[in-house]
Chain A
Amino acid sequence: MTTTTDLVSYEDALASYDPVMGLEVHVELGTKTKMFCGCSTELGADANAQTCPVCLGLPGALPVVNATGVESAVKIGLALNCEIAEWCRFARKNYFYPDMPKNFQTSQYDEPIAFNGYLDVQLEDGEVFRVEIERAHMEEDTGKSTHVGGATGRIHGASHSLLDYNRAGIPLIEIVTKPIVGAGERAPEVARAYVRELRELIRALGVSEARMEMGQMRCDVNLSLMPKGAEKFGTRSETKNVNSLRSVERAARFEIQRHAAVLSSGGTIVQETRHFHEDTGSTTSGRVKEEAEDYRYFPEPDLVPVAPSREWVEKLRAGLPELPLVRRSRLREEWGISGTDMQAILNAGALEPIVATIDAGADAASARKWWMGELARAANESGTALDELAITPEQVARVAALVSEGSLNDKLARQVIEGVLAGEGTPDEVVDKRGLKVVSDEGALTAAVDEAIAGNPAIADKIRGGKVAAAGALVGAVMKATRGQADAARVKELILEKLGAAEG
């Protein structure tokens, strides 16, 4: 982009204006099949290999709702403290765009399955902020377009586009907040914390992996400013498809600075969609927002209403897992760590790996030590997430077990981890292949000690004569012979014992 956007400093913007945000998050459900047909949702298939008359919108095809999709929607609604509709319908959202071959998206309009809830989110310093939820509704994803002929795959300048409809019809839940007011300068942080908390919640429910980098969770950030103390909201902009936690925070921050610059110079904000640019952290103008009625929503005649029985809803409520915020404070207490330590674990993405390592038999302290130490360093160096490292929590637990039973010391354990990460096999295989084991076998140690004494008669004599300090040279020889795998303290004891000298 060659045009630059006028911005005022963040501090100046907040001195004059209060930000109001609305966050819309789309979550792709992890169901095996699409929302309205039995096509597989598995990633990585050949283009257009997962389509059928229903998701291609061929004449006469009739959709049928995926029961698991509805169940997931209800679970999400309940976890967000929402009311669940007793009766609701799908609606057609009509628009012409080739990403939906039907020329409409099946969605929900004025009868969402879940509404009026809230999600408590925790900020970096531990403060809890309540975000009110307007609604969560069911809909379907669109196909994937590839724009050909323009620069770097953008629509602009493209000669034509190519459509793959494998993604068209994959279940989506759209979660919309009520206007978030009163966050002030912490608004961008609240936005980030909300999306993170929502992601943890979705994962805890097991309804989606919610991987933002894979587009399984996408956020639109609506933002407006009003003069400090005012009650009437300003005109908003909608920054679309912000796809990482960091970007959510940056997009909100950028828009606050941009709106403030426009407003304080006497301009007006245009209601429009904007695109976020990951590289610069800025947004640029998209299209002027169509009015809601332009979509000509009407009840979907091919799908009958969904009426979740109260018994079913209560059954699902009773089966909800412990929610992330509650779980985190429980774990923090169990592990006896501070809020700051817990925050560091969360920021590192180490919570689930640590829990899984403990589940695999490690004690909390060593699980934390390895994930927050050696493994965090390895992840950092290779630029990957902790849970993407080539080591499983079970393997980390095995390393911890080898240390606690005394067959590895920390130094050797680090080498084992290094070997596992390098693809050399399981911890036990690496121990074998690299020959990494603390030599605790007394026989082997004694033999090595005897050998060192025999090979260094002069030093041995000095020790016999009372010069205990000379033992260091023999310990060194033994360690060398055992390639660092002996317990040095035990070696020294053995040497002194053999030579009839006592530790001074």
Chain B
Amino acid sequence: MPGITREEVAHLARLARLELKPEELDHFAGQLDDIIGAVARVSEVADQDVPPTSHPLPLTNVMRPDEVRPSLTPEQALSSAPAQEQQRFKVPQILGEE
């Protein structure tokens, strides 16, 4: 069941902020088709009585009490930041808003 078009790959690439060359769009469209096809085979065996699974372990309600734990220091938090200013993460101009 082929279905992924070049346009859809381009759309996904844009959402993921990936810059793809035209030939890559075709390449990934084919690959994504294969992947979706493989996953679709699962639906063929899964019936109404099989609940959708997003977690491999049969666990629920793993929670922690509302107790404060030590945070990183601002220096530690910022240690991998490419740029910083006024003890804050410095990021380039934000476009496409407002």
A positions within 8 Å CB-CB of B: 31-33, 37-40, 46-53, 56, 64-70, 87, 89, 94, 96-98, 101, 145-148, 154-156, 158-165, 275, 286-287, 294, 296, 299, 301, 303-308
What chain A residues lie within 8 Å of B48 (beta carbons)?
A: none
Contact with B64, one of A53, A65, A146 (Cβ below 8 angstroms): A65
Check if B2 is an interface residue, CB within 8 A of chain A.
no
Q: State whether A287 touches B71 (Cβ < 8 A).
A: no
What chain B residues lie within 8 Å of A65 (beta carbons)?
A: 62-64
What chain B residues lie within 8 Å of A56 (beta carbons)?
A: 72, 77
B positions within 8 Å CB-CB of A: 15, 17, 54-55, 57, 59-74, 77-78, 85-94, 96-98
Q: State whether A286 touches B98 (Cβ < 8 A).
A: yes
Q: State whether A98 touches B94 (Cβ < 8 A).
A: yes
Residue in B closest to A98 when the chains form the complex, CB atoms: B91
What chain B residues lie within 8 Å of A48 (beta carbons)?
A: 74, 77-78, 87-89
Q: State whether B67 touches A163 (Cβ < 8 A).
A: no
Q: State whether B60 touches A66 (Cβ < 8 A).
A: no
What chain A residues lie within 8 Å of B62 (beta carbons)?
A: 64-65, 303-304
Assembled-state Cα–Cα distance A38/B60 (Å):
20
Extra contacts, 13 of them, besides A64-B64, A94-B15, A160-B93 (Cβ < 8 A), are A33-B66, A39-B68, A48-B87, A48-B88, A49-B71, A65-B62, A68-B65, A161-B90, A162-B85, A162-B91, A163-B89, A304-B57, A305-B55
19 contacts between A and B (CB under 8 A): A32-B68, A46-B87, A47-B88, A49-B73, A65-B62, A66-B64, A67-B65, A97-B94, A145-B94, A147-B94, A148-B85, A160-B85, A161-B92, A162-B90, A163-B91, A299-B54, A304-B61, A306-B60, A306-B61
Q: State whether A38 touches B67 (Cβ < 8 A).
A: yes
Q: State whether B97 touches A32 (Cβ < 8 A).
A: no
What chain A residues lie within 8 Å of B90 (beta carbons)?
A: 160-163
Q: State whether A66 touches B93 (Cβ < 8 A).
A: no
A interface SS class = loop
Residue in A closest to B96 when the chains form the complex, CB atoms: A287
Q: State whether B71 touches A67 (Cβ < 8 A).
A: no
Assembled-state Cα–Cα distance A38/B59 (Å):
21
Q: State whether A32 touches B87 (Cβ < 8 A).
A: no
Residue in A closest to B87 when the chains form the complex, CB atoms: A47
* A315 nearest CB across to chain B (Å): 15
Contact with B59, one of A52, A147, A304 (Cβ below 8 angstroms): A304
Q: State whether B66 touches A162 (Cβ < 8 A).
A: no
What chain B residues lie within 8 Å of A159 (beta carbons)?
A: 93
* A172 nearest CB across to chain B (Å): 15
What chain A residues lie within 8 Å of B91 (beta carbons)?
A: 98, 160-163
* A64 nearest CB across to chain B (Å): 5
* B32 nearest CB across to chain A (Å): 14
* B56 nearest CB across to chain A (Å): 9
Closest 9 CB pairs of A and B: A38-B69, A162-B88, A68-B66, A299-B54, A67-B63, A307-B60, A163-B89, A98-B91, A48-B74
Assembled-state Cα–Cα distance A409/B70 (Å):
54
* B95 nearest CB across to chain A (Å): 9
* A51 nearest CB across to chain B (Å): 5
What chain B residues lie within 8 Å of A31 (beta carbons)?
A: 66
What chain A residues lie within 8 Å of B64 (beta carbons)?
A: 38, 64-67
Assembled-state Cα–Cα distance A98/B84 (Å):
13
Given contacts A68-B66, A162-B85, contact A156 B98 (CB under 8 A): yes
What chain A residues lie within 8 Å of B93 (beta carbons)?
A: 158-161
Assembled-state Cα–Cα distance A189/B61 (Å):
40
Q: State whether B69 touches A33 (Cβ < 8 A).
A: yes
Assembled-state Cα–Cα distance A46/B81 (Å):
17
Q: State whether B89 touches A32 (Cβ < 8 A).
A: no
What chain A residues lie within 8 Å of B57 (beta carbons)?
A: 304
What chain B residues lie within 8 Å of A68 (beta carbons)?
A: 65-66
Assembled-state Cα–Cα distance A48/B74 (Å):
5
What chain B residues lie within 8 Å of A145 (beta carbons)?
A: 94
Of B17, B62, B66, B74, most buried by chain A (CB within 10 Å of CB) is B66
